[in-house]
Amino acid sequence: MSLFDPVLAWHSIPDLLRGLPISLLLFVICFITSNFVGIAVMLLRISHNYLFQWIARFYISFFRGVPMLVVLFLTYFGANMDAWSAAILSMTLIPSAFLAEYYRAALMGVSKTQFESAKALGLSKWKTMRYVVFPQAFRVVLPSLGNVSLDMFKGTSLAAMITVSEMFMHAKIIAGANQDYMTIYIMIAIIYWLVCCALGWLEQVVEMHLNHVAER
């Protein structure tokens, strides 16, 4: 058996791509939910309430230290959740812990003079955050956000372990049916790489746009 079968590789592309919409849908849902949760945890982390701070610290420490696969199995087998719910919950909890720290660092990086200037202009706390702090913090956090998005998309492949019919699940089925794992796994690796390249390009476009807006 050859290391790579180009004929099988070519004919497998349509079947592999059938799982791509599911992978992308899972990624988009988890990206949105993890950002909302991450911001909420960040707000708890920087609050003046000691209990809220402790809860946020524990949340961040725990979910940064537990493998994604373990959380997937805990939610799917332990909590007896359906596959989609377990995948979404797991892929929200772990990235949100990292995002909470990234957002906190970005927020702390905004100069105090910005707050003082906004206060001198008579802006409310909400308007100060909305128009002064958040735009600056978002530009700082964007590269980290891009890295998390890449890890998150690649992490959708783990959902195959709990029967979510995403792209890697299709690859496993095709590889088993043809008894050629090397060819199919090379092809699926190329597809993941191309999608991550597209996501990286999108992050660069957004970053360039924000920098252009800031310079005006």
For residues 134-162, average pLDDT = 91
Task: Please provide the average confidence, as pLDDT, over all residues in the chain.
Answer: 91
User: Does the pLDDT of residue 41 top 60, yes or no?
Assistant: yes
Tell me the pLDDT tens digit for each residue of 108-144: 877 777 777 777 777 777 777 777 777 778 888 899 9
Q: Report yes or no: 128 and 115 within 8 Å, Cβ to Cβ.
A: yes
Q: What pLDDT sits at residue 215?
A: 66
Q: Report yes or no: 71 and 90 within 8 Å, Cβ to Cβ.
A: yes
Q: What pLDDT sits at residue 39?
A: 93
Q: What class, spelled out in words, does domain 6-215 have in CATH?
A: mainly alpha
Q: What is the share, in percent, of the chain residues with pLDDT greater than 90?
A: 73
Burial degree of 3 (CB within 10 A; 0-12, 13-18, 19+): exposed
**CA atoms within 13 A of residue 116's CA, in its CB half-sphere:** 3
Q: Which residue has the higher pLDDT, 214 or 49?
A: 49
User: Does the pLDDT of residue 61 top 80, yes or no?
Assistant: yes
Listing DSSP states for 152-207 in one string gives HHHHGGGGGGGT--SHHHHHHHHHHHHT-HHHHHHHHHHHHHHHHHHHHHHHHHHH
User: Does the pLDDT of residue 1 top 60, yes or no?
Assistant: no
**Other CB atoms within 10 A of residue 116 CB:** 10
Question: How is residue 13 written in tokens?
Answer: 């592309």
Q: Which of 51-55, 118-122, 146-150 has the lowest mean pLDDT?
A: 118-122
Burial degree of 83 (CB within 10 A; 0-12, 13-18, 19+): middle
- CA pair distance 59, 45, nearest whole angstrom: 10
Measured at the alpha carbon of residue 199, what is the angle toward residues 197 and 205, in degrees to the nearest 5? 105
Q: What pLDDT sits at residue 121?
A: 76
Q: What pLDDT sits at residue 26?
A: 97
Domain ranges of the chain: 6-215
